[in-house]
């Protein structure tokens, strides 16, 4: 299932992530892709707040640490693969354990993983649409996909269904 939406500001992008985070109840893997500055980290900051990560805990990009862990209703692992050049490095950060655990994982630069390494429940592609506008394509997979799509539509965002997916 596929939804598209355009955000008009960083706050919109944050709120889109917060909305999704508020809906997620089950363990989930989210793969994010988009150019540098597209809004992946801002989206994950909102996702973290929607998952109940306390406001006093800063949610920052793990570009150099590769993985940040945040406490919420479920533990959120924020993974950034921008600096990964060799897939062998992924075992050093415990990525297999992160992706197979009973928590949520949001993986920036997910396209850098070998295809067999990642079986996401949600794939989010973000495009810079000029100024502060961003175009989001959200692909939902798995048994909770229909419920998530319907719940996502019940927000202030104007989603566009894609009947081809």
pLDDT in tens, 87-114: 777 777 778 888 887 889 999 988 877 6
Q: Is 92 exposed, middle or buried (0-12, 13-18, 19+ CB in 10 A)?
A: exposed
Question: So what's the pLDDT on residue 149?
Answer: 92
The dihedral built from the CA positions of residue 27, 47, 108 and 57, taken in this order, carries a sign that is negative
Decide: 159 and 69 in contact? Cβ < 8 Å.
Answer: no
Q: Is 141 exposed, middle or buried (0-12, 13-18, 19+ CB in 10 A)?
A: middle
Question: So what's the pLDDT on residue 86?
Answer: 75
- Residue 16, φ and ψ in degrees, nearest 5: -65, -45
Flag residues of the chain having pLDDT under 50: 163, 165
Nearest to 45, CA basis, from 13, 79, 7, 4: 13
Question: So what's the pLDDT on residue 163?
Answer: 47
Domains assigned to the chain:
2-134+143-157 (3.40.50.300)
pTM for the model: 0.90
Question: So what's the pLDDT on residue 59?
Answer: 94
């Amino acid at each position: 299932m596929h939804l598209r939406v355009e955000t008009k500001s960083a706050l919109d992008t944050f709120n889109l992530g917060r909305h999704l985070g508020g809906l997620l109840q089950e363990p989930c893997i989210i793969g994010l892709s988009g150019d540098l500055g597209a809004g992946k980290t801002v989206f994950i900051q909102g996702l973290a707040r929607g998952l109940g990560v306390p406001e006093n805990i800063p949610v920052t990009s793990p570009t150099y640490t590769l993985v940040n862990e945040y406490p919420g209703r479920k533990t959120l692992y924020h993974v950034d693969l921008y600096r990964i050049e060799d897939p062998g490095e992924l075992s050093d950060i415990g990525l297999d354990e992160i992706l197979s655990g009973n928590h949520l994982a949001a993986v920036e630069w997910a396209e850098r993983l070998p295809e067999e390494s990642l079986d996401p429940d949600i794939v989010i592609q973000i495009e810079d649409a000029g100024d502060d506008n961003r175009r989001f394509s959200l692909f939902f997979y798995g048994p909770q996909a229909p419920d998530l799509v319907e719940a996502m539509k019940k927000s202030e965002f104007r989603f566009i269904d894609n009947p081809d997916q």
